[in-house]
Amino acid sequence: MSTARIGPPDAVDFLGVDALLSDEERLIRDTVRTFVRDRVAPNVAAWFDEGFLPRELGRELGALGVLGMHLHGYGCPGASAVAYGIACMELDAGDAGVRSFASVQGSLAMFAIHHFGSEEQKRQYLPSMSRGETIGCFGLSEPDFGSNPAEMRTFARRDGADWLLSGTKLWITNGSIADVAVVWANTDDGIRGFLVPKQTKGFTSSNIHRKLSLRASITSELVFQDCRLPASALLPEAKGLSGPLACLNEARFGIIWGAIGSARTCYETALEYAKTRVQFGRPIGGFQLTQEKLVNMLLELNKGALLALHLGRMKDDGRLHPSQVSFGKLNNVRAALAIAREARTILGANGVTLEYPVIRHMNNLESVLTYEGTSEIHTLVLGQAITGIPAFT
């Protein structure tokens, strides 16, 4: 068959992954992309520089329909996993801090309530969280326990019908701006989840400063000193570490896509720069070394996009195993970081400033490599999956 009528592939979507999306999925992509272009891209370098994210963005993301996007009922949009992934990709193409806001709100805090909460908790929180009027956070990590949350020290003990919660959570996204914290604590019956409203006596939060990554995202310490909680604060259906791990599995799925969004922006920026920046009398994109860098980026970007879509379709079919989510997160974040670093070199000195998005994405990706399970932990998950032998301890 002749290939004469087949046009040249797109320089970014080289494999034509776009053609594998439905019209509705493309519409979601365009809607979120436009929001990012108009609202995030013009402002995010300043937010990153100043180390903050405007709280009102929550309501705007709610209006966009990306908070708790893949959850059904209680005012949530009830979109597919692929549609949610596409939204994460487009938000992350703007900044991983903005995507983290949506991930923590929807996949961690809202998912925990949706999956493990009582009917009353779902009705109380989910509709306003979906609109971004109520902000949630997810407190699992502690100063001494990150990769190994099973040994967490935060403890909730029974006191009559109430609970008394004490402990410290660290590195909590949206922590100080949250109206309600989903907090995981050890109890005499193992790990349980609690909904802790901001105004609870004994609950304080403070922001972590001097971060050089995910600066357009609030990261906080949460301290609980004998916080008295009613019995109705307990998430009734979450028992043991499988509760928080199920939430993390949801958020990691979004990261598989988000990383490709960040990588795409870095690649597009480097490609454009390479075509216009002239050295030695010609565009640097005309040098073989630069072309090799761009091609390596193109390969990983397109393979990562295909992987994200494949895993998304599997999730929508109910066939996605958590170890396959680890596969996606490990591969795509690693690939995105390599793309960002390579793009940075193409921009030369301009690559180290916030005038271009590349170093912002590169620094963000260092956090993304670590949170929601470090690259080492996902390697061990996959190692166990293929050998049958756990190597965590």
Q: What does the binding site for ligand FAD look like in residue numbers (CB under 6 A)?
A: 104, 138-141, 146-147, 171-173, 214, 219, 367, 370-371, 374, 376-377, 380, 392
Options 292, 355, 372, 376, the catalytic residue? 372
**CB of residue 104 to ligand FAD, shortest distance in Å:** 5
**Minimum distance from residue 138 beta carbon to ligand FAD (Å):** 5
- Cβ 219 to ligand FAD, closest distance in Å? 5
The span from the CA of 271 to the CA of 111, in Å, is 38
Choose between 187 and 370: whose C-beta lies nearer to ligand FAD.
370
60 among known catalytic residues: no
- What is the nearest approach in angstroms of ligand FAD to the Cβ of residue 222? 9
Nearest to 377 by CA among 100, 138, 146, 190: 146
Tell me the C-alpha distance between 165 and 174, whole Å.
Answer: 20
Residue at shortest CB range from ligand FAD: 146
Reported as type and span, the H/E element at residue 316 is helix 288-316
Q: Which helix H or strand E contains 48, and what residues bound it? A: helix 44-50
**105 burial level (CB within 10 Å; 0-12, 13-18, 19+):** buried
When the beta carbons of 140 and 294 are compared against ligand FAD, the nearer one is 140
Half-sphere exposure at residue 41, Cβ-oriented, CA atoms within 13 angstroms: 14
Residue closer to ligand FAD (CB basis): 125 or 171: 171
Concatenated DSSP letters for 202-213? TEEEEE----SS
**C-alpha to C-alpha distances, 262 to 61, 93, 107, 335, nearest whole angstrom:** 18, 4, 19, 11
Active site (catalytic) residues: 372
